[in-house]
Copies of this chain bind each other. A is one copy, B any other.
Amino acid sequence: METGRLETFADGVFAIAATLLILNVRLIPTADCTSLSCQILHAWPSYVAYAVSFLTIGIIWVNHHAVMRQIAQADRTFLMITVLFLMVVAFIPFPTQLVAEHISGGFDDAQASTVTYGITLTLTAVMFNAVWFYAARGNRLLHADADPRAVRGISRTFVWGPWTYLGLTIVAAISPYVGAVGFASFALFWVIESSVFGRDQQAPGVEP
């Protein structure tokens, strides 16, 4: 099967999951804040959570792009693994909302929400690895002329994902605030890495 319709479906899920995040940005009236401007300012964790999750899904989209360029065809197993992967990606808005609402609460609430966020992103990274390594193992679904260097490059980068998120989840369990900064920094790292080092360089998997 060609991968065209698979990419359309995946892009749909990425776009919707990212755009739905805005529904979690909400003002929550508190005792301290009676004016609207105060409430808007105090909702900053919502905005940060929105930005971090939007960027994270955006990075997943950019990387999925790079992965699919190496892949020539899909079998039913690959479709199913992709559905499982998208299922975890589309789950991200839920823990995002938890973090947005509870990070500035007590320690226990901040911990519970950031750990849930971390577990979701760890699973996302695990499933993304499943998508990639199912396709790449023995060049099962790759283009006949896939560049071995690009393939090894993706493999080498991807294996770090789950461990990084697992590590950040453990950090969040110990110190939720440090964990939350970690999730945000990891997303920013990818954006900046691409912006600085990716400049003037074509997207991965593309021959000049």
Interface residues of A (CB under 8 A from B): 1, 5, 7-9, 11-23, 25, 27, 35-37, 40, 50-51, 54-55, 58-59, 61-62, 65, 69, 73-77, 79-81, 83-84, 86-87, 90-91, 93-94, 98, 102, 105, 108-109, 111-113, 116, 140, 191, 194-195, 198-206
Contact = CB atoms under 8 A, between A and B. Distances in A.
Nearest to A58: B83
A84 B22 contact: no
Q: Is the interface of A mostly helix, strand, loop or mixed?
A: helix
Contact of A94 (B13, B17, B22): B22
A199 B36 contact: no
Contacts of A23: 20, 23
Contacts of A75: 198-203
Given A16-B16, A55-B87, A203 B1 contact: yes
Contact of A54 (B73, B90, B206): B90
